[in-house]
Amino acid sequence: MNPKIYHSKDHSIRNRQISRNSLTVINKLNSAGFNAYLVGGGVRDLLLGLAPKDFDIVTDAHPSEIRKVFRNSRIIGRRFRLVHVVFGREIIEVATFRSNDAGDKSKHYQTNDDGFVTRDNIYGTIDEDAMRRDFTVNALFYDVRDQTIIDYCGGYQDLQNQTLRLIGDPTDRFMEDPVRILRAVRFQAKLGFKIDQALLPPIAEHRQLLESVSPARMYDEVLKLFLTGHGEKSYHSMMEHELFGILFPLTYKALKAQGFPDEHLLLKSLKNSDARAKQGLTSSPYFVYASLLWAPFMERFESLVAGGMRYSDASKMAIDDAFKVQHQITVIPRYVREFIEDLWVFQFRLQAKVIRSPKRLMEHPRFKAAYDFLLLRAEANEDTDVLEKAQYWATQFAEYEAILAEQEREENRQERREGKQEVRREVTRHQKNRDEKQGDDSQKRRRRPRRRRVARKSSDA
């Protein structure tokens, strides 16, 4: 294949924009006689004027050869063998060029009964590596030696046209990895690109393949969709391509029963997470999952209570039912589930008809998260009781924070007073020690001449 080469005058990427450790890895591999390039999302984001989260490096060196070049590295992975080069807390990931040619289905390439690739360590050339990537905009290679971009798939032009185009036959690529369907939606939301029209029918045809993806892997993909600054757009893209109901069937059913309101709790939560991401803050997975599953939880809870079940029993059963279904699609870690349960149960405490000790509730370590959740429910106009309780707790919490702030100021004033007193005591001790030392020195000076006079008298005698 003859790639198109874009020189430094054709694009805006410069070596100084790449992290120092990434450059070190690339340069050291090149110096060792190999060819190493920056590839994928790092190149794409730099061309778009974005700050890459990390930099992926690809090379013709095999993992064992990379390991010899870098003592501070380790080989990881079974499906895709990679090398992690460790620089303190920063890890630079290095992959070897791979090929789509599985040959005789050797031990280096394996699929399961559904046709999904479970091992893929067939090494190849740079052009073969380009053809096995998912989207053309992610198949651009950057060579730090002459600052050129190497384009085998027309990705540079697609980037200019803001188009997401899949490399290869969509059916084959989605069968290899159905998560590519979610990646198309995520890039559409993150980059604001349009999905190639030719790709829309295959997405509709093969979206059910997502049900076969590992629930553990799907959990991570959901976090990428909803917690990386474009959650609201991801939600709308998933609804547009009819993917949301596959990943969250109970939530979809509950929202459908409500007529898909324009402003509901999940949307409020995603907007909040997006705003925090823009400020450089993170959001907790348990909070977004609590928002995702709140509607089906409440639907089940109210149904059980209407049937005569006690509140405590109904809440426990509703929690179990919600997680039982969702766990089959996206595994939710136990510690995340525990946080979600506490958050939901705390809502009933905040909405109690009679609240005897608000201060005691506000001192609870789970209060702030539960309070924030209640405010989002109020913003979503869940019901009049939620609005009233949100106003009540807003007033109580404002007074509580004012008291805490005054206590903190008083503690600071007390610390300053104690600090000044300690300084005075230290000065006094220092002065006393100095005076005592001066007294001792003067006494020694008075005694010495007396000894000398006595010595002279004895000498004369």
Contact 178, 210 (CB under 8 A): yes
Q: How far is CA 435 from the centre of its chain?
A: 63
Contact 389, 374 (CB under 8 A): yes
Contact 168, 202 (CB under 8 A): no
Closest by alpha carbon to 265, among 372, 167, 364? 372
Strand partners, 59: 36, 96
* Residue 363, CA atoms < 13 Å, CB-side half-sphere: 6
Closest by alpha carbon to 98, among 131, 65, 67? 131
Active site positions, annotated: 54, 56, 134
Contact 92, 21 (CB under 8 A): yes
Contact 45, 54 (CB under 8 A): no
Contact 37, 59 (CB under 8 A): yes
Reduced to 3 states (helix: H, G, I; strand: E, B; else coil), residue 107 is coil
Alpha-carbon span 28 to 35, nearest angstrom? 10
Contact 299, 258 (CB under 8 A): no
> Which amino acid, one-letter code, is at 158?
D
Alpha-carbon span 216 to 330, nearest angstrom? 6
